[in-house]
A and B are shown apart, each in its own frame.
Chain A
């Protein structure tokens, strides 16, 4: 298997622009997680899905952030409008079966908002 795939790997945009990050989980994994990583706050869970249904979005910082999972093989994280403080590395991860099992992380998207 190719592992978790994320695109783009790097994104540079200007404040106010819309940003869409994409993720393809490992085939057969029922759970998908979106994380944000910064030096100050470490790894923060933003939202996770089970069987394409959002379960917990309490980590989403504000209404500018939204995530969707239209099918088992694709998810998006959208920021609209983007702000400089959104600059971070965003990771997608997937896991098999249930919470409390190995999460497989993608390579991340490094977002820079100017």
Chain B
């Protein structure tokens, strides 16, 4: 099956940029997603990118996809304390269940 890996923890200072990385093994995914989970809550979809795209920007969020290296990243510009959460990457083919990474806990220090 699909293996999706993320580093467990990232700490940044408020106002800096955060980059959260994700690597995967199966190149058949059609869509790649980023979800955010705040404490005690469900997962909230942040953004997604279609597999034929290299980059997608949505306000403070930039998603980069390197299909050759099977690497997905999420950049958060001007990181705020409200961005502190767990971030999950997920992969899917558009018609089936998604496969999730283990999540990266982002800590934003004031």
A binds B: no
The residues of A with any CB-CB pair to B shorter than 8 Å are none
The residues of B with any CB-CB pair to A shorter than 8 Å are none
